[in-house]
Structure 1
Amino acid sequence: MNVPHTAISLTDFGGRPDSGEDAAGAMRRALEETARIAGPVVLTCERGRYDFYPEHATKAKYYISNTASEDENPDVTKTIGILLQGLRNVTLEGNGSLFVFHGKQTMIVVDGCEEVSIRNLRLDFEQPTVAEMTVTGIGDGFLDAAVHRDSRYEAENGTLTWVGEGWRFRDGPMQEYDPQSNTTWRIDNAVAAAARIEELGPGRLRLFFDAGLMPSTAIGRVLQARDGIRDQVGALVINSRKVEWSDMGVHFMHGLGLVCQSSEDVSFERMELAPRTETGRTVAAFADCIHVSGCRGLIRVADSRFAGAHDDVINVHGTYLRVAGQPLADEVLLRFMHPQSYGFPAFFPGDCIEFVRSGSLASYADAVVIKASMVEPRVMRIKLDRNVPEELRGDDVVENVTWTPEVEIVNNRMARIPTRGVLVTTRRRALIEGNRFERMAMSAVMVAGDARSWYESGKVDNLTIRGNTFIECGGADNAVISISPENTEPAEKSYVHAHIVIEGNRFEMRDAPLLEASSTEHLKFADNLIVLPGKFQEAGAAIRLTACDEVSVTHNRYISANSK
């Protein structure tokens, strides 16, 4: 049904497709006009390529979860290609256009918006901040590599520096991609390990290695390098509600990925987070693909394809803050603990909270927030509707129970991932259904929660994993499905996670445990088909349970991969 709306064209504000000109100013003027019109408004782009340069991008400070510490990135100012701020009932219609970003940018920020839709767009970078080179030859103590045409470097005095539009780096994380198995995994940085690097010709390098430091690789594999500092994100949805992303290609993101923070009801439908085929690249994401922190309502990811990330595909969690003091009987100071998460409001007036033991991850008291304020970027002060519990300990943590979302992750395909497919820790209904996980190097699905490392909250109490296909995921230390809260002590008559159903899935196994679970009750593993490799002799060894109760493992079928 066509809804009456006001149409605005980017062309009317100076945005010319395929011109090579900076479209940032035209987009800003068009959005300013959009903000003056009562919705619904559709801002349309004539189909073509639009370039966005950092020189005329918006600069604004944003503290974003899981990005960078003060030491890694002291200035939290983001360079924003497209800023949608304070808009209501607005659609950004790309008509299949390609937006190409230059330098280091956060491509899109949706801040303080309601009922915003971004659709029919393709997003990419002129020069990704992940450099790529393909192994073309291997000799005695050296390997040859061809550098991708979109990766640039400086070779001088036997060393190599990757350079781009306003950035440069030498060391950092590296991954290896095998196109034959369509698999990616993390490795030591071969460039940093090389004793000497020579340029054989334009885009052709020879890396020499001392004895014992030669990497184990093969001709045709791709080495991917980055600096590891998440100073930007791919896109950010913050303090917004009812935001829809649909029918989009996201072909590279610098930084953490598509981040949702302190927002409500966000959906991603028919997305392709993968390199554009015509570029010949193998990397689409500098880190995670979709990262959700401290949200509520429904988070939905559906009918999408993910390939070529440098971290997890989807991570949904909250943030535990540790008790740092008690100024008054009804007030408590709370501290952000992980170096890469701080500075953003984690509590708001009216929020329900729980006090949690950091060792057992068991909650023992609740309250409602009356006032909340930032004392400093790492400390919040909250006033409660009652006195702080008398049994409060100095290492206890607090979870925001209100800002926990429902989650639907359905009918997606994930491949070329070096870590996990889906991480989810939310107490509300979560569904992982109909997805295809291909050769995740770690667990395909992980349910964690901890108050000692990442401080990613909280408990799971209604999770269904149904009708998925898991192809050769996991490893010796990573089960295909891992329910592994990081509690260090048991809680009497209490479990961290509960009510998890794993049913009707197909597992094509390699040398990895099928399921591991700890501190979980009411766990059901039923009606699954497990295809075992020939050397996988004891199916029972594939399931590992620790401190679990009310577990049901029934009606599962085990067959050999060699059987017809």
Structure 2
Amino acid sequence: MIRSIALFASLTTTTFAAVPVTDDDIVMGSQSHGELHRDASVEGKPLTIVGKTHATGLGTHATSEIPVSVPAGTARFTGAAGVDDSAGAGKGSVKFRILSGNAVLWESSEMKSGDAPAAFDIAVPATLHRKIYLQADDLGDHDFDHADWVDLAWVAGEGSALKQGAVLDGTAFGLKPGTEDDQTAAMRTAIQALREAPGSTLKLAKGEYHFHATGALQRHFHISNHEQPEWHSVSIPLVDLQGITLDGQGSTFIFHGDLLPMLIQDSTKVTVKGIGLDYSIPHHSQGVITKVDGEAYEVEVDQKKYPHEIRNGWFFFTGEGWGKADAGTGIIFDGKTRGIVAGTSDYGYKGKLTELSPGHYRVEKNVGKSGIKAGDVITFRQNIWVSRPHPAVTLYRAKDTTLDEVAIHSAQGMGLLAQRSENIHLTGGGVFPRKETGRYFSTNADATHFSNCKGAVIAENGHYEGMMDDAINVHATCLRIEEKVDARTLRCKFIHNQAFGFETFLPGETLQFIQAKWLTPRDPRKVKTVRRTGEDSLVITLDSDAPSDIGKGDAIENLDWFPSVIFRGNLVHNNRARGSLFTTPKPVLVENNRFEDIAGSAILLAGDANGWYESGACHDVVIRKNVFKDNLTSRFQFTEALISCYPELPDLKGQTEYYHRNVRIEDNTFETFDVPLVFAISTQGISFRGNKVTYNDKFPSWKKPPFILNRCDKVDIANNTVTRDGKPVKWTAADVKTNLCPPDAVKVK
């Protein structure tokens, strides 16, 4: 429930209610320790600073950030901040800040317990701002950082009038292409002009623009499916904007250091167009194999493009403000075709290393037996599983966002990560290495990733290449029930260590239970209240009793936050893992794409409440008029066929309902060596009709049937054209392997 904020009589000097922060704002806040409290300290005690108790305010713990909704009719925001006396005399070290979407509006000095509170009175006219952000910075040490915001009040007034939308010239704000000087400050000034004039377009002169971490805006929040660093250094904060366009007119943005290039947050109708995003020094490195000879190989690593040294007998790569040891496991690309060398999967290339000359090394490892040859390219993946701090582009609480001809060439994590966002349209562009760099890789994980989004996700006419995971991944993040406190109260937890801390539920939204053992959806309920008791934990109360047989170990998902998906007209090739992954009950259309030379499956329909905790049973999937060519040349998680329906089910035998439903695979072209075409678990209603399948001998056969079905029903295989060596092949029941399926589950015609 949102607390109402009453306006008193005066028009220009009246203050609003004393604690003008909604319950939703509190749920959306993030902090590194403890629970954010209204009218109490982080320990749940009275708010007390230098012996004075404050009746109203917020008790948090650094590091924290609270997004605060600006009420209509506001001109100013007043209050004070300090370290709570409960920290202990002279303890704690906190710096307080108030941010707009693109700038620091106010900042305190470093404060400790016993310091007088720092007062603030800042202009935040509601005509310009829908959100401001309260930050408590732990300054690198969060011991005893009990941070209080007290005596908060909005001051009523007319504020500044909005300007008319216009076309703004980037040069007017000091944005200069063709120089390596940091453009961050100029960009943030231009963004302020966009805030003041909704409906405006910022046009940049075509060229190369550079952004450095030193000028970035520090933000604290959690990003799904990534590491959780204390701070995200944001170069381009497209935050709290309405109806604006950033038009690069074909420009390239080059980023320097450890940072999050672009954030679109708490904004509506933002369009970004005609921009490529890349790093000066990427967070992968690359070497060219020059010789393969028996028990060793030689490799050249360009010191200028991929700065490095040898530590403890192996590569240690350095960038601008970062350094990482190579893990010794990565991806081997064919030097000519740019495809991943067949059968190499996540390849271990480490061995005893000898430097032959600067940048030229000999490694004692027999890679020739794996089909690796001179001219092939190693992508060094430094610290594979723990080197994913930031996406290139993050969408968070964004609505009606369009990326038009936006190309992501390199990223520390995902290319694009969207969470709690609605209606996203990607057209053209994509994720692929920039030709002039000579790189074979692009992103460290998925090209695009959508967690807990709704409305429509549309990705069309894009190019996806060289990423270390899927071109597109759509799912919900579900939480495990830790305790059923009473019939209407659940204590829940995020489980995966890269997916926690963002708001999965708000009051009034629809919760659906999942029986984890069978992934059975159960009995939706409305959420009444949400308490964030820690970074990874929630206490949720419901509007009615939970089912009696739901309890610890089961899961919950938000039924209101699933999107429909259109993935159309895209090229996906030369990448690891999978081409695409969908886990949503809303309609999914995969149409007129080309999936080529993908090391794993082209399409995966997933779902679980036991491992990744990524849920969303597919109920309506159409896969039509696509070309699948020479995929599945290596093996990765869940990649049992070109099209794999693989929910993770602990007890398949005991399941009483099917997880996925209505999967139509029609009028596609498969050019493939002998691998399974469809693998499915717990799927009802599979139609494989009107497809053209041409087998080749490019790679060794898996010696498995084209269809492998585990507890599936209503499977229709008909009217397909199949050839091998130019001769027709007729499928029969023998080409379908079944397990736990009803006797008449499959029809082959």
| Distance in 1 (alpha carbons) for counterparts of 2:723 and 2:702 | 12
> What is the distance in 2 between the residues matched to 1:144 and 1:398?
52
Contact 1:355 1:397 in 2 (8 A): yes
State the 1:512 CA deviation: 1.6
Q: Distance in 1 between matches of 2:620 and 2:171?
A: 48
2:281 corresponds to: 127
Do residues 547 (structure 1) and 711 (structure 2) align? Answer: yes
Corresponding residue for residue 18 of structure 1: 178
Alignment counterpart, residue 509 of structure 1, candidates 663, 668, 672: 672
Q: Does the aligned pair in 2 maintain the 1:155–1:199 contact within 8 Å? A: no
Report the Cα offset of residue 35 of structure 1.
1.0
Does structure 1 retain, via aligned residues, the 8 Å contact 2:169–2:203?
yes
Match of 2:351 in 1: 194
> Matched residues, percent identical?
28
Q: Say if 1:333 and 1:382, in contact at 8 Å, map to a contact too.
A: yes
After superposition, the CA RMSD in angstroms is 2.2
Deviation at 1:492, TM superposition (A): 5.0
Q: What TM-score, normalized by structure 2, do the two folds share?
A: 0.71
After TM superposition, the structure 1 = structure 2 runs for residues 141-540 of structure 1, keeping only pairs within 5 Å, are 141-148=295-302, 149-155=304-310, 158-172=313-327, 173-184=329-340, 186-190=345-349, 193-201=350-358, 203-209=359-365, 217-227=372-382, 228=384, 229-475=387-633, 478-490=640-652, 493-533=656-696
Corresponding position of 1:61: 220
Work out the CA distance in 2 between the residues paired with 1:349 and 1:19.
Answer: 49
Deviation per CA, 1:417-461: give whole Å up to 9, x if none: 111001001001110000000121111000110111111101000
* C-alpha contact (below 8 Å) 1:182/1:415 kept by paired residues: no
CA distance in 1, matches of 2:375, 2:541: 59
Q: Aligned partners of 1:523, 1:120: CA distance in 2, in Å?
A: 40
> 2:188, 2:284 → 1: CA distance?
28
Helix, strand or coil at the partner of 1:226: strand
Q: 1:537 to 1:122 in 2, by over 3 A?
A: closer
The alignment partner of 1:414 has SS state of strand
Residues 327, 529 of structure 1: CA spacing in aligned structure 2 closer, same or farther, 3 A cutoff?
same
| CA deviation after TM superposition for structure 1 residue 539, in Å | 10
State the secondary structure of the residue aligned to 2:673: coil
SS at match of 2:345: strand
Q: Aligned-pair distance for 1:563?
A: 5.5
CA contact (8 A) 2:514 2:556 kept: yes
Provide the C-alpha distance between the structure 2 equivalents of 1:179 and 1:220, rounded to a whole number of angstroms: 5
Q: Secondary structure at the match of 2:270?
A: strand
Q: 1:403 to 1:157 in 2, by over 3 A?
A: closer
- Mark the runs of 5 or more structure 1 residues left unpaired by the alignment: none
Query: SS of the residue aligned with 1:427?
Result: coil
- The one-letter amino acid paired with 2:643 is I
- Give the SS at the match of 1:114: coil
Give the residue type in structure 1 aligned to 2:645.
I
The CA deviation at 1:368 is 0.9
Instruction: Report the residue type matching 1:115 in the other structure.
Output: K
Of 180, 187, 199, which aligns to 1:40?
Answer: 199
Aligned mates of 2:683, 2:363 — CA distance in 1: 49
Q: Which residue of the other structure, out of 188, 199, 214, is the alignment partner of 1:28?
A: 188
User: Once the 2 structures are TM-superposed, how far is the Cα of residue 9 of structure 1 from its aligned partner?
Assistant: 2.1
Report which stretch shifted further, 108-117 or 346-355.
346-355
Aligned pair partner of 1:52 in 211, 215, 218 = 211
> CA distance change for structure 1 residues 381 and 109 in 2, over 3 Å: closer, same or farther?
same
In structure 2, how many angstroms separate the alpha carbons of the residues matched to 1:411 and 1:432? Answer: 9
Q: What stretches of structure 2 of length at least 5 have no aligned partner?
A: 1-163, 729-749
Does the CA-based 8 Å contact 2:297-2:367 persist in structure 1?
Answer: no
Report the CA distance between 1:186 and its aligned residue. Answer: 3.4
Q: Is 2:296–2:367's contact at 8 Å kept on the other side of the alignment?
A: no
Q: 1:539 & 1:285 partners in 2: Cα distance? A: 33
> 1:537 and 1:334, CA in 2 relative to 1: closer, same or farther beyond 3 A?
closer
1:100 to 254, 261, 277: 254
Deviation, 1:248, is 2.0
- Do the aligned partners of residues 400 and 76 (structure 1) sit closer, same or farther apart at CA in structure 2, a change above 3 Å counting? same
Question: Retained in 2: the 8 A contact 1:533–1:562?
Answer: no
Judged with a 3 Å threshold, the aligned counterparts in structure 2 of structure 1 residues 377 and 237 are, in CA distance, closer, same or farther, namely: same
- The answer to whether 1:116 aligns with 2:270 is yes
Counterpart for residue 34 of structure 2: none
Distance in 2 between residues matched to 1:240 and 1:523, nearest whole Å: 35
Residues in 1 aligned to 2:703 and 2:684: alpha-carbon distance in whole angstroms: 22
In 2, the alpha carbon distance for the partners of 1:214 and 1:78 equals 43
Question: Which segment is superposed worse, 283-292 or 403-412?
Answer: 283-292
Given that 2:278 and 2:410 are in contact with CA atoms closer than 8 Å, whether structure 1 keeps it comes out as yes
User: After superposition, what is the alpha-carbon deviation per residue over 1:480-528, rounded to whole angstroms, capped at 9, x for unaligned?
Assistant: 0001111122455410010111100111112321111111111111111
Whole-Å separation in 1 of the counterparts to 2:389 and 2:404? 26
Partner of 2:157: none
Q: Deviations over 1:50-99 (max 9, x none)?
A: 1000001111112111112xxxx5x3311111001100000001011111
Separation in structure 1 between the aligned mates of residue 704 and residue 284 of structure 2, nearest angstrom: 42
Contact 1:141 1:214 in 2 (8 A): no
Instruction: Tell me the alpha carbon deviations over residues 164-211 of structure 1, each in whole angstroms, 9 at most, x when there is no partner.
Output: 111112232411101334322533342xx221231413x3222234x8
**By how many angstroms is 1:411 displaced?**
0.5
The count of aligned residue pairs is 551
Instruction: Judge which range, 471-480 or 404-413, deviates more.
Output: 471-480
